[in-house]
Structure 1
Amino acid sequence: MFTGIVQDVGTVIAIEEREQLHTHVVSMSPAMREGLALGASVSHNGCCLSVTAIEGENVSFDLMRETLRLTNLGDLAAGGRVNLERAARFGDEIGGHSMSGHIMGMAKLVEIDEAPNNRRLWFELPVELARFVFDKGYIGIDGISLTVGGVEAGRFCVNLIPETLARTTIGERVPGDRVNIEIDPQTQAIVETVERVLANRG
């Protein structure tokens, strides 16, 4: 489980590409590596990956074909930056919202609205995900726990404070970029339950 509070930004220093499998080697800070072991879970742009090798400050992760298909991690090249979060432990503060690290799809950044000391980003969502997004609901964007600021036909926005822009990669995003989306699991469960009940009654 993750909380959507990004702990660090790592740099991809190498990518080994094999058929339907990539291995990303990520440079991670000492704080992020403390106590890290093989098999440990680390969120990369919101996607849960397992540690496969540790060599000094460089940590390796395997990305299977489903991960490459559903997330923006397959778009990365050496030098790319990723939001990182270690798996939550019992007793940790939940500063964001509960996230599984399972990406449901991607959204495209279509508009940036700049204002003094904050920024509003508008994203287009695939139709199959749009039904789970509500005004003031939670959403995970590239592993960041955010509150939905508004919803229009086929798109939604989030409002970002300077701290979020400084501590994550979301401030580097430009129109046309794709971001990883994790829907709030409680919202998903409620929507799907209501849909199922209404379908049975119909």
Structure 2
Amino acid sequence: MFTGIVQGIAEVVEVRELEEFRTHVVALPAEMREGLAIGASVAHNGVCLTVTAIDGDNVSFDLMRETLRLTNLGAISPGQCVNIERAARFGDEIGGHSMSGHIICMARVVAIEEAPNNRRLWFSLPEEISRFVFEKGYIGVDGISLTVGDVRPSPDGGGVEFSVNLIPETLLRTMLKERVIGDQVNIEIDPQTQVIVETVERVLAGRR
């Protein structure tokens, strides 16, 4: 389990490609490696990955076909950075919201609004996911626990656009400061919201 409180960013120093499979080698700072062991879970841009090798500062993670299809990790090149969060431990403070590290889709950055000490990003979501997104609800964006600001229909009529408001601390600690219009981000829907929506839909369908 993760909390969506990103602990920092780390550079991908090597990518090994195989057919529908790749290995990321990430240089993790010492504080992120403390107690880290093979088999541990670490979120990269919100994607739960398993440690497969540790060589000094460099830590390896394997990405399978489904991960490459559903997330933005398949487009990462050496020299680029990812948001990193170690798995939550029993007794840790939950500062964000409960997240599984299972990405449901990607969203595209469609607008950026700058203001002093603030930044608002707008994202476009596919229609099939839009029913899970509500104003003031939780959402995971590249592994960051955020509150949905506004929700509006997409101009093309398919799906919705939603905004998040970023404080300086979030911009300092995460890769969202680097995002530009057209970039793809990983989206994890709040699992409680997803369960409630799907349960209500089943009940209503049963009554009809």
TM-score by structure 1 length? 0.99
Q: How does 1:128-139 map to 2 (within 5 A)?
A: 128-139=128-139
2:208 counterpart of 1:195: no
Letter in 1 for 2:74: G
**Match of residue 165, structure 2, among 159, 163, 166:** 159
**Structure 2 counterpart SS, 1:93:** coil
Kindly report the root-mean-square deviation, in angstroms, between the aligned alpha carbons of the 2 structures: 0.4
Give distance in 2, aligned partners of 1:184 and 1:111.
Answer: 23
Q: How does 1:6-155 map to 2 (within 5 A)?
A: 6-153=6-153, 154-155=160-161
Instruction: List per-residue Cα deviations over 1:140-191 (Å, max 9, x = no partner).
Output: 0000000000100111000000110010000100000000000000000000
C-alpha deviation, 1:40, in angstroms: 0.2
Give distance in 1, aligned partners of 2:36 and 2:169.
Answer: 26
C-alpha deviation, 1:71, in angstroms: 0.2
Give distance in 1, aligned partners of 2:128 and 2:32.
Answer: 35
Residue matched to 2:157: none
Unpaired runs of at least 5, structure 1: none
Instruction: List per-residue Cα deviations over 1:19-56 (Å, max 9, x = no partner).
Output: 01100000000000010000000000000000000000
**Structure 2 counterpart SS, 1:94:** coil
Letter in 2 for 1:82: V
Give distance in 1, aligned partners of 2:83 and 2:37.
Answer: 19
**Structure 1 counterpart SS, 2:196:** helix
C-alpha deviation, 1:57, in angstroms: 0.1
Aligned sequence identity (%): 72
**Match of residue 179, structure 1, among 166, 181, 185:** 185
Unpaired runs of at least 5, structure 2: 154-159
C-alpha deviation, 1:8, in angstroms: 1.4
Letter in 1 for 2:175: T
Give distance in 2, aligned partners of 1:24 and 1:90.
Answer: 28
**Structure 1 counterpart SS, 2:73:** helix
- Runs of 4+, deviation exceeding 4 Å: none
Give distance in 2, aligned partners of 1:190 and 1:9.
Answer: 33
Give distance in 1, aligned partners of 2:50 and 2:127.
Answer: 30
Letter in 2 for 1:165: L
Letter in 1 for 2:27: S
Give distance in 2, aligned partners of 1:36 and 1:65.
Answer: 25
